[in-house]
C-alpha cells in the first residue's frame, strides 16, 4: 500500500536533500560575496584615508615652506631696505654709544631729506678700500659736525662753524678733549659740496675725519641714521636729538 503523505521528489523532479544542499551553497556563496564586498569597501576607505592623509601632509609641508620663504624675503627686505642692525665694536662714540652696544639705524631717514648737524649716522668708512682695511672697518658710526660747504675750525678743544665766534655746545662729550684738539695750532677744514665732516663723541679715542686719508664722507656713503639702542637692555633707548645754538 502506497503512503500518499511521503514524497521523495519535488515537483521538478529533484531530490529534496540535493535542493537543500544547493540552497545552503548559494547562501554560503552569498555571504562570502557580501563579506568580500564589505572588505573591499573597507579597503577602499582605508586607501582613500591614507591618500588623504598623505595629501594633507604634503599640503601642510608646502604651507610651512611657503611661510618660511616669505618670512626670509620679508626679513631680507626690512634689513636691507628699511633698517640697519649694527653692532658697535669700539668706544669712539662713548658715552652716547658704548663698546658692544647694538642699535638700529633707519635707512629711510634720508630718502627725502639730508643729514643734519648733530645726527648720528652709519656710513661707509671713506678709507675702507685703502691698504690694510679689514671687513670690520667697513662701516662706522659718527656724528655729523660739518655740513656741505661749511668751514670747520677746531681750536682749543672747541669747534667753530663758518667763522662763528660761538663754538658748538657739545654736551655729549664724555670727558675733557685733550687729543688733536687744535690747542697748538687751529685745525681748519673746508667741507666740499655733497660731503660731510664727521667725528666721534669720544674725541680722545676716535678714528674720524681728523685722521682719515679721505677726510670727508660723501652723501652717497651715508647709509642710515642711528635711531636707538636695544642692547644691552638696561642701556636701551632713542638717541637724543641735538640742537646747536645758531
Catalytic positions, please?
Answer: 92, 142
Q: Of 218, 219, 223, 183, nearest to 203 (Cα)? A: 183
Taking residue 212's Cβ as centre, other Cβ atoms within 10 Å add up to 16
Q: Where are any strands of DSSP class E within the chain?
A: 83-87, 102-106, 120-124, 139-146, 151-155, 158-161, 187-190, 195-199, 217-218, 222-231, 237-238
The whole-angstrom separation of Cα 188 and Cα 185 is: 9
The whole-angstrom separation of Cα 108 and Cα 111 is: 5
Amino acid at each position: 500500500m502506497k503512503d500518499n503523505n511521503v514524497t521523495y521528489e519535488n515537483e521538478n523532479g529533484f531530490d529534496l536533500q540535493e535542493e537543500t544542499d544547493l540552497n545552503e551553497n548559494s547562501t554560503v556563496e552569498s555571504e562570502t560575496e557580501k563579506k568580500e564586498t564589505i572588505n573591499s569597501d573597507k579597503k577602499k576607505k582605508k586607501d582613500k584615508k591614507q591618500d588623504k592623509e598623505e595629501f594633507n601632509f604634503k599640503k601642510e609641508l608646502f604651507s610651512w615652506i611657503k611661510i618660511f620663504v616669505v618670512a626670509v624675503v620679508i626679513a631680507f627686505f626690512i634689513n636691507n631696505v628699511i633698517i640697519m642692525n649694527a653692532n658697535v665694536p669700539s668706544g669712539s662714540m662713548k658715552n652716547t654709544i658704548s663698546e658692544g652696544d647694538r642699535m638700529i639705524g633707519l635707512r629711510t631717514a634720508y630718502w627725502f631729506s639730508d643729514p643734519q648737524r648733530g645726527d648720528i649716522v652709519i656710513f661707509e668708512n671713506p678709507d675702507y678700500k685703502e691698504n690694510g682695511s679689514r671687513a670690520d672697518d667697513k662701516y662706522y658710526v659718527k656724528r655729523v659736525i660739518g655740513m656741505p660747504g661749511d668751514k670747520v675750525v677746531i681750536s682749543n678743544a672747541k669747534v667753530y662753524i663758518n667763522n662763528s665766534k660761538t663754538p658748538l655746545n657739545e654736551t655729549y662729550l664724555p670727558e675733557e678733549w685733550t687729543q688733536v684738539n687744535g690747542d697748538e695750532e687751529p685745525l681748519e677744514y673746508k667741507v666740499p659740496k655733497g660731503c660731510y665732516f664727521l667725528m666721534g663723541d669720544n674725541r680722545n679715542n676716535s678714528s674720524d675725519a681728523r685722521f682719515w686719508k679721505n677726510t670727508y664722507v660723501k652723501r652717497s656713503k651715508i647709509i642710515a641714521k642711528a635711531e636707538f639702542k636695544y642692547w644691552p637692555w638696561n642701556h636701551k633707548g632713542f638717541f637724543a636729538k641735538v640742537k646747536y645754538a645758531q
